Amino acid sequence: MEFDVHVLRQYAPALLAGFVTTLGVVVASLLLAVVLGLLACLGSLRGHGAVFRVSRWYVDFFRVVPDVVLIFWVYFCLPPVFGLRLSATTSGVLALALGTGAFLAEVFRAGVLAIPRGQIEAALALGIPAVERWRQVILPQAVRRMMPAFVNTVTDLLKHSSLLAGITVGEMTYVAYTIGAQTFRYVEPLTAVAIAYFAVIFPLSLYVRRAEGHAVRRTGQ
C-alpha cells in the first residue's frame, strides 16, 4: 500500500482539531494534577496524622492503578455511583489528573527532601518565617532538582492522553482511528499522529537527558 498524501491533505483540519484537543486535555489534566500533587506532597511531608495517611493512600493507590482502568472506571462507574453527569472529556481529564497527580506528589516530595537539611535548619535559626522560608530557600532549589522528573511525568501524560480514544474523546488518536474507519486507510492518519507525538515529546526527552547529565556532572564534582 502506497502512502497517499492526499488523505492527509483532505483530513488535515480534523487531525489539527484533534491535536488541539489533545493539548487542551493535557494542559487541563496537568493543572489539576499539579494541585493534587502539591496537596498530597504537603500531606506526605507531615509524617503523621490523618492528612498524612490520606495523602499516602492517594499516592500509593493511584500510582499502581493502570491509566486505562482508571479512565474507564471514571467514565463508566463514577457517574452512576455518585450520581454525577460527566462528559467523556471531563472524565478523561479527571482520570489523567488523578493518576498524574500521584506521581507528581512523589516528584515534589523528592525535590523537597533533596535539599540539604542544614540549609533549612539555618533558615529556622535565623528566624525566617515559614512562607519566606519556602519562597526563598526551599522552592527555588526544589524546583531546580525536580524539573527533569517533572518533565518526564509530563511526557508520560502526553502519551497516556491517547488512551482517551477508548471513551470517544476527540483527541488526535481517536480522530485518526475514525478517519481510518471511514476511508479504510489507517496508515496515513496514524502515521501523522505518531509524528505529531514525536515532534512534541522528543524535545522534552532531550531536555530531560541533558538536565540529568548536568546533575550527574555536578554530583561528580
Nearest CA to 92 among 34, 32, 177? Answer: 32
Q: What percent of the chain has pLDDT over 70?
A: 96
Q: Which residue has the higher pLDDT, 144 or 72?
A: 72
Work out the mean pLDDT of the chain and round it to a whole number: 91
**Which of 22-26, 115-119, 153-157 has the least mean pLDDT?**
115-119
Whole-angstrom Cα distance, residue 195 to residue 204? 15
pLDDT tens-digit map of 136-150? 777 788 888 899 999
pLDDT at 4: 87
Residue 217 has pLDDT above 80, yes or no: no
Q: What percent of the chain has pLDDT over 90?
A: 71
**Which of 1-5, 8-12, 57-61 has the least mean pLDDT?**
1-5
Residue 39 sits in a domain whose CATH number is 1.10.3720.10
Q: Which residue has the higher pLDDT, 65 or 211?
A: 65
pLDDT tens-digit map of 74-91? 999 999 999 989 999 999
pLDDT at 201: 95
Domain count, the chain: 1
Nearest CA to 96 among 150, 14, 153? Answer: 153
Residue 213 has pLDDT above 90, yes or no: no
Q: Which residue has the higher pLDDT, 4 or 172?
A: 172
**Which of 2-6, 74-78, 116-120 has the least mean pLDDT?**
116-120
pLDDT at 78: 94
Whole-angstrom Cα distance, residue 33 to residue 62? 12
In single-letter form, the type of residue at position 59 comes to: V
What's the domain range around 51? 5-220
Handedness of CA 198, 212, 63, 24 (dihedral sign): negative
Q: pLDDT band at 219, cuts 50/70/90?
A: low
Q: pLDDT band at 26, cuts 50/70/90?
A: very high
Nearest CA to 59 among 76, 77, 39? Answer: 39
Whole-angstrom Cα distance, residue 14 to residue 170? 10
Residue 176 has pLDDT above 90, yes or no: yes
Cell 490520606 belongs to 54
Residue 111 has pLDDT above 80, yes or no: yes
